[in-house]
Structure 1
Amino acid sequence: MDLHLDTLDRHFSLPKTGKVEMMRPFSWLRRGAADFMAHPLPSLGYGILTVLTGWLVLLVAASYVYLSTFSVTGYLLLAPLCAAGIYELTSEREEGRETSFAQSIHDLMKNFGQLAFMGAILGMIAIAWERVSAILFALFYGGEAVTMDGFIHALTGEYALFTVAWFIGGLVLACVVFALTAVSIPMLADREVDVITAMMTSVRVVAENLPAMLLWAATIVVLTVIGFATFLVGFAVIFPILGHATWIAYKDLVK
């Protein structure tokens, strides 16, 4: 099953995209792990930075429940952008060049403006979700001070309607962001293209490879849950492996 978006070709000059079988994401993950092992130190550098950033964000927002949920969402929204340096590591290896953390940062500068624009778009999405979360909390909690115990109680208690609304909103947001970023950020790191072209290419890739991309999204969710279950420590390895795998997926799907 796929949803070919022919209308995109009439409005954008998009690169050719390919189709893959449903189980291809497991190959991306396996090859991503192999790339991680090929240059573990610079990859771990990005992973450790991700863990430290996550700890800092959660520490700052720990006293405010809706800010904590927003922080987690923002963390997940901006993580693909942070992986841009990891994409460069894999690119350097493919080209037979020496890989290093410093070199990967340097290589990001070739299309930094568009990457920064993408970061601004994701940042605005994160802020919009924070506002929606705040409104939902105000509506369903009737102005009460929301504690973590109260939030947990809302999952099955008197605020069950809030829980449903909040999770549906989060799910819709996650689907939209995934469609826009599945291959757009590695594309921006790889080519001198604009953000709109990269995002529309990503949307078409997802539409044309819906079974494989749904499996890929589910894989990312499972690994992300594992990362949070380990108090973010697992992201030191999970994050770079997913970064390498995403680059491989991009190369597989965009010609």
Structure 2
Amino acid sequence: MASFHVIAGANEAQEHIRVRKIGVHDLVDALRRGIDDFMVKPSHLVFLCLIYPIVGVFLAAWTSGNNALPLLFPLVSGFALIGPFAAIGLYEISRRRELGMDASWRHAFDIRHSPALPAIAAVGGMLFVIFLAWLLTAQAFYQNLFGRIPPESIADFVREIYSTERGWTLIIVGHAIGFVFAVVVLCTTVIAFPLLLDRDVGAYEAVHASVRAVLANPVTMAIWGLMVTIGLMIGSLPLFAGLAVVLPVFGHATWHLYRKVIEPEPSA
């Protein structure tokens, strides 16, 4: 059944993926390899990732009106929640380069021929639901503190946020809530998409393997999440343009992280 194939994979059986313990040195090496992948054909990779900063700028412009202004930070920060799915073409490039195959930017779109495409779409849909849940939660929390009346101006909004008690409550508690959403995404998708590109194991096992990888390496994966967060923060300046470099670097690095944390198939 096609629906079962989405869940369990091509063999219609739950394949148990074995995970390894890794250290900080593995994260550094994965990042180094990601940078190396990016440097091979940087113009092609930047072209692939232009959509990320463009959408970021669009989100900022869309929320420039007072009514949507409070959603600016949740939109920009929450967009990173679907980053693992946005970088899927980069995983494919790293995979092909690892195999000694042509790794031009055009091959990033070869994922449309992947037998695991339904499972990839299912996990991507899960991320989109998490993204929407974050936006709704952020909006509800803001309205609980400030009410439904929009700020009169950007200056008034900034003043309310940084010079009032409820503004600092929004900053501190809002970041804590966002942290929870980020942890959920990290745990469920840290290696899910690279795994599905490499082995059609189904959406369930891909997510399950990601969770087990985090549980087996809690401190190391927490450091990885911190590295990605700092990278995205730096890449957001100026005007999200830096994401055209940060996203491909971490996208490629994620493929190499997957290779380090998941044992290959016995026949590989």
Q: What TM-score results when the alignment is normalised by the length of structure 1? A: 0.89
> 1:35: which partner in 2?
37
Measure how far apart 1:156 and its partner are. 4.7
Residue deviations 1:212-247, cap 9 Å, x none? Answer: 111111111111111112221111111111111000
> 1:158: which partner in 2?
165
Measure how far apart 1:32 and its partner are. 0.6
Letter in 2 for 1:41: S
Structure 2 runs not aligned, ≥5 long = 1-13, 264-268
Structure 1 residues 84 and 154, CA gap change in structure 2 (3 angstroms): same
Letter in 1 for 2:161: A
> 1:244: which partner in 2?
252
Q: Distance in 2 between matches of 1:192 and 1:226?
A: 34
Measure how far apart 1:163 and its partner are. 2.8
Alignment coverage as a number of residue pairs? 244
Tell me, what secondary structure is at the counterpart of 1:99?
coil
Letter in 1 for 2:74: F
Match status 1:177 vs 2:185: yes
Q: Distance in 1 between matches of 2:93 and 2:43?
A: 11
> 1:209: which partner in 2?
217
Matched residues, percent identical?
Answer: 26
Q: Distance in 2 between matches of 1:14 and 1:205?
A: 12
Question: Pick from 123, 126, 132: which aligns with 2:131?
Answer: 126
Tell me, what secondary structure is at the counterpart of 2:48?
helix
> 1:59: which partner in 2?
61
Q: Distance in 2 between matches of 1:169 and 1:155?
A: 19
Residue deviations 1:81-131, cap 9 Å, x none? Answer: 011100000111111111122222023431221111112111111111111
Structure 1 runs not aligned, ≥5 long = 1-11
Structure 1 residues 30 and 178, CA gap change in structure 2 (3 angstroms): same
Residue deviations 1:185-229, cap 9 Å, x none? Answer: 111222212212111111111111122111111111111111112
Q: Distance in 1 between matches of 2:162 and 2:84?
A: 29
Q: What TM-score results when the alignment is normalised by the length of structure 2? A: 0.85
Match status 1:224 vs 2:229: no
Q: Distance in 2 between matches of 1:184 and 1:154?
A: 37
